[in-house]
Amino acid sequence: MAVIVDLTLPSQQFELGRILEMEEDTNVVLETMVPLGERTVPFFRVHGEENEFEESVRRHVAVNEVDVISTHDGEVLYALDWDVSGDTFFGGLMEADANLLEARGVAATWSFELRFPGHDGLSAFQNHCTEHDVPIDVKRLYNPTKPGAGPWYGLSSPQRTTLSRAVESGYYSLPRQISTQELATEFGVTDQAVTERLRRAICNLVTNTLLVEDEE
C-alpha cells in the first residue's frame, strides 16, 4: 500500500540543492522530473532574481544544459539537464521507485512530498539515507490510497490551501464570486500557478477518493 512522506533536507546536503543554490529572496519549485536513462530532467520555477542564479546553475560541473521554457510576472520556468549519478538523495529515490509529488527550495532548506509504493520502499530509502549520511527530516507520513486513511487524500499543502480558499471564496459558485487572478494576488503567486494548483488538487482528490474502489 502506497505511503506519502513529507520531509525536509538542507540545501547543501544533496547535489540538486547545490546546483540550484539561491539567495535568500529566491525560491524554487520543482514541477516534475522526466527520467532519461542515467539522467533526469527537472522542470522548475524560480521566483525572485534569476540572472545570477541562472549563471550559477550553468557553471555547475554536473549541469549539461539549462533552458528557459517560459517567463511570466517575474516567474521563470526552466528545464535542467544534469547528471543525476552524483546525487545520493535522488539515487535513493530512484532505487526505491518513489514518485516526486512536490519539492520546494529556499536558500537553506528544501521540502519534499514523496510517494513510495509501500512501507518497505520507504524503509529502504531511509536506510539508504542513513548509510550515505543524507540528513533527511521526516515531518509526516500517511497512506492516501483510501478515503479516511490519510488526512489530506494526497493533496500537498499549497494545493489544499488554494482549493479550500477557492471553495470558501465562491470560485465554484454560480455566479463566480472570485477569480483565479484575485486568488493569485492573495497567495502572492501567478494566475497560472493558482490554476495549476486547483487542477492538481482536484485530480488528486478524485484519484484518492472516488476512483479508489475502481482501482481496487
Question: What DSSP string describes 200-215?
Answer: HHHHHHHHTTTTHHHH
Has residue 141 got a pLDDT over 90? no
Contact 66, 19 (CB under 8 A): no
- Amino acid identity, position 162: T
What pLDDT shows up at residue 149? 38
Which of 45-49, 114-118, 203-207 has the least mean pLDDT?
Answer: 45-49
- Which residues, including other chains, have CB under 8 Å from residue 209's CB and lie 6 or more apart? 147, 153
pLDDT of res. 37: 54
Of the two residues 127 and 215, the one the predictor is more confident about is 127
Q: pTM for the complete prediction? A: 0.64
- Per-residue b or e along 98-121, where b marks 16 or more CB atoms closer than 10 Å to that residue's CB: bebbbbbbbeeebbbbbbbeeeeb
State the DSSP H helix or E strand holding residue 128, giving kind and residue range, or none if neither: helix 119-131
pLDDT band for 151, please (50, 70, 90 cuts).
low
pLDDT at 216 over 50: no
Residue 157: its H or E element: helix 157-168
For cell 542515467, what's the residue? 38
Closest to 27 (Cα-Cα) out of 95, 108, 99: 108
Give the pLDDT mean for 27-44.
71
Least confident span in 23-27, 125-129, 166-170: 23-27
Q: Are strands 63-72 and 39-47 parallel, antiparallel or unpaired?
A: unpaired
Average pLDDT of the chain to the nearest whole number: 83
- Report whether 166 contacts 172 (CB < 8 A): yes
Report the alpha-carbon distance of residue 173 to residue 176 in Å, rounded.
5
Torsion, CA 23, CA 66, CA 94, CA 24, rounded to 10: 10
Poorest-confidence range of 80-84, 148-152, 184-188?
Answer: 148-152
47 touches 27 (CB < 8 A): yes
